[in-house]
């Protein structure tokens, strides 16, 4: 059988720098674990605009549709701020998400013990934390019609957005949360505002339906999203997988992610429907942007991008044990006190470069054999 394919889209700013470290790790898995990938690379964002006048060409879009997984660095930068909205770098990313129909956005909040002091919460509340927020990504209030700003009858204006969810939109994201939970702690907490929103009542009923009919073995609970926000900062370790809509997921995933400290540590995955080979359409990317303030200086932390590749190993390539190996290598490096500049605490020390962090992770992988 052909090796699985990965399309790498490094993008702009620190994107190519952090992706170069992921390349080292992909090579390591090929050489040392006989896990070979057919890797190709292309342009997205400002880099694509510079070369082709658009942030994503049709050819690259077609390659992304055909790939078993897409790994993206980051897009954007001040150079492109004045471009027309239609060709801004971010449009390239939005086009990927939309045309691949990536409805399930996975944002882990995982706290490495060595970084527990970075959290704004007490160490014992976050040490060892490992939760996953599943956010519905392609529907809800960010997309619902009617929307817009128009004059009202009193000489003022009215702004309208519509929260709209269908049965199938809720069921498919619920399924992806239950599937995830089965590979983790077997618990899902669904969050909405069923107390004040009809779309929330439908959400709760449909998630319960998927549970009762398809995943009765997974533990399911429901929580109002505002209570959920409180519980996330009070005692986050009570959760395993949280599934929620686009708007609440936007807020709750940022909140949960920040429980763990630095932006340079946060990976994400966006998954769609299964392809003919059974793998889901998938885009993996760090949560951070292109960090123009540090681009080209070898200061970027590549761990968010490396952990995004670990997610690809787990969710696209069914290599959970190898994903664990990579995450443990990152943990070992951090435990050794290796830090990029963004991970330096008040006690100071000498930060390592992006490349040195990548090399240290490869060395820790070697040590894991």
Annotated catalytic residue 363? no
Among 43, 294, 312, 326, binds ligand NAD (CB under 6 A): 294
Closest-CA residue to 100 (of 144, 56, 53): 56
299 in Cβ contact with 354 (< 8 Å) = yes
249 forms part of the interface with ligand NAD (CB under 6 A) = no
Q: Can you tell me the distance from the alpha carbon of 228 to that of 346, in angstroms, rounded to the nearest whole number? A: 32
Q: Can you tell me the distance from the alpha carbon of 46 to that of 221, in angstroms, rounded to the nearest whole number? A: 43
Of 250, 281, 315, 342, which is the active-site residue? 250
Alpha helices in the chain (DSSP H): 15-32, 46-52, 58-66, 89-99, 123-126, 167-183, 198-214, 225-234, 246-258, 303-315, 320-335, 354-367
Annotated catalytic residue 254? yes
* 178 contacts: CB under 8 Å, gap ≥ 6: 188, 210, 211, 214, 215, 218
135 forms part of the interface with ligand NAD (CB under 6 A) = no
Instruction: Give the binding range for ligand NAD (CB under 6 A) out of 24-32, 148-156, 165-173, 289-297.
Output: 289-297
16 forms part of the interface with ligand NAD (CB under 6 A) = no
Q: Can you tell me the distance from the alpha carbon of 349 to that of 175, in angstroms, rounded to the nearest whole number? A: 46
Q: In the stretch 297-336, what mask flags binding to ligand NAD with x, by CB under 6 A?
A: ---xx--x--------------------------------
Measured from the CB atom, the residue of 82 and 122 that comes closer to ligand NAD is 82
87 in Cβ contact with 55 (< 8 Å) = yes
Measured from the CB atom, the residue of 85 and 154 that comes closer to ligand NAD is 85
Closest-CA residue to 313 (of 11, 16, 30, 17): 30
Q: Nearest approach, Cβ of 228 to ligand NAD (angstroms)?
A: 24
Among 7, 43, 48, 75, binds ligand NAD (CB under 6 A): 75
Instruction: Give the binding range for ligand NAD (CB under 6 A) out of 96-104, 155-163, 203-211, 291-299.
Output: 291-299
291 forms part of the interface with ligand NAD (CB under 6 A) = yes
* 163 contacts: CB under 8 Å, gap ≥ 6: 140, 141, 144, 197, 199, 245, 247
77 forms part of the interface with ligand NAD (CB under 6 A) = yes
Per 3-state DSSP, what percentage of the chain is helix, strand, and coil (rounded to 5)?
Answer: 45, 20, 35
Q: In the stretch 165-204, what mask flags binding to ligand NAD with x, by CB under 6 A?
A: ----------------------------------------
The tokens 């060709």 sit on which residue? 87
Instruction: Give the binding range for ligand NAD (CB under 6 A) out of 190-198, 245-253, 296-304, 323-331.
Output: 296-304
DSSP label of 35: -
Among 144, 292, 351, 355, binds ligand NAD (CB under 6 A): 292
Annotated catalytic residue 226? yes
- Positions that interact with ligand NAD (CB under 6 A): 14, 18, 74-77, 90, 93, 263-264, 285, 288-294, 300-301, 304, 342
């Amino acid at each position: 059988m052909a090796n699985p394919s990965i399309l790498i889209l490094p993008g702009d700013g620190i994107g190519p720098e952090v992706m170069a470290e992921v390349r080292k790790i992909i090579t390591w898995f090929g050489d040392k674990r006989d896990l070979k990938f057919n890797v190709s690379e292309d342009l997205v964002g400002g880099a694509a605009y510079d070369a082709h006048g658009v942030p994503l060409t049709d050819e690259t879009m077609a390659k992304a549709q055909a790939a078993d997984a897409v790994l993206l660095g980051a897009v954007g930068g001040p150079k492109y701020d004045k471009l027309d909205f239609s060709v801004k770098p971010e449009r390239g990313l939005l086009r990927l998400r939309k045309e691949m129909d990536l409805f399930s956005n996975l944002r882990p909040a995982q706290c490495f013990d060595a970084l527990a002091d970075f959290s704004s919460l007490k160490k014992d509340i976050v040490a060892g934390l490992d939760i996953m927020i599943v956010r519905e990504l392609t529907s809800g209030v960010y997309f619902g019609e009617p929307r817009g700003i128009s004059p009202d009858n009193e000489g003022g204006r009215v702004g309208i957005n519509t929260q709209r969810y269908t049965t199938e939109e809720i069921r498919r994201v619920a399924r992806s949360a239950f599937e995830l939970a089965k590979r983790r702690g077997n618990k899902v907490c669904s969050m909405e505002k069923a107390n004040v929103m009809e779309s929330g009542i439908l959400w709760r009923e449909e998630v319960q339906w998927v549970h009762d009919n398809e995943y009765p073995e997974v533990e399911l609970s429901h929580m109002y999203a505002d209570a959920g926000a409180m519980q996330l900062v009070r005692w986050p370790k009570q959760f395993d997988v949280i599934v929620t809509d686009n708007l609440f997921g936007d807020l709750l995933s940022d909140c949960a992610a920040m429980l763990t400290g630095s932006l340079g540590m946060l990976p994400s995955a966006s998954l769609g429907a299964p392809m003919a080979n059974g793998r889901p359409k998938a885009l993996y990317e760090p949560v951070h942007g292109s960090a123009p303030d540090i681009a080209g200086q070898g200061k970027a932390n590549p761990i968010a991008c490396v952990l995004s590749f670990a997610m690809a190993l787990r969710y696209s390539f069914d290599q959970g044990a190898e994903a664990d190996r990579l995450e443990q290598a990152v943990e070992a490096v951090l435990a050794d006190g290796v830090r990029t500049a963004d991970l330096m605490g008040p006690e100071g020390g000498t930060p390592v470069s992006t490349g040195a962090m990548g090399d240290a992770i490869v060395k820790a992988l070697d040590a894991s054999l």
